[in-house]
Amino acid sequence: FNGGDVQGYCYELEAPVSSNPVSFNVLNWTELNAMQQERASLLADLYNDWYFEVLTTGDVDMATALAFLTNEIMEENYDLIPGTFFLTDIQAQSSTTTGAVQFSDFDAGVQAFYDVMLAELDFGTEAMLDGLVFYESAEGNWQDVVSYVPAPSAMALLGLAGLAGRRRRNS
């Protein structure tokens, strides 16, 4: 991304990965279609609750669970009553074993985090949605990625956590 790093989660698993530069369109939630906006609302809440904890703790099980649920939310063909998008239906139909992507051979800790994340899932607010950034392959044949840009207050907290960690290491 123009020589910079972006931390995010892919949600287009059927597309190839490339180590070569690939052009992406950067989108916010208002540029998505109606179904994608509903799914983005779930991601906004999920990321508001977990994204920065994953970044600050570096917990691999937590990060894996976040990636699993990101893929499930964006890829699952939910069997919903036409015109509805009920949270309880989403939660009941989301699974690491029977969902859009069946995952296997992962630690029990991943499943525990996945279960907690799914149980706490809700629809995000517009302020949370404003923090989501979608990177869509310009050619349409590479992985699409979502990342979360923190509000200034969250950035300040991350900065304080980083300073505290640095101070401990230097002591």
Q: Point out the residues of the chain with pLDDT beneath 70.
A: 1-6, 80-84, 150-171
In the prediction, which pLDDT does 155 show?
A: 45
In the prediction, which pLDDT does 170 show?
A: 45
Cβ-proximal residues to 146 (8 Å cutoff; 6+ apart), any chain: 8, 9, 11, 40, 43, 47, 70, 74, 132, 133, 134, 135
In the prediction, which pLDDT does 126 show?
A: 92
In the prediction, which pLDDT does 165 show?
A: 42
In the prediction, which pLDDT does 157 show?
A: 42
In the prediction, which pLDDT does 18 show?
A: 72
pLDDT, tens only, 105-122: 899 999 999 999 999 999
pTM exceeds cut of 0.95:
no
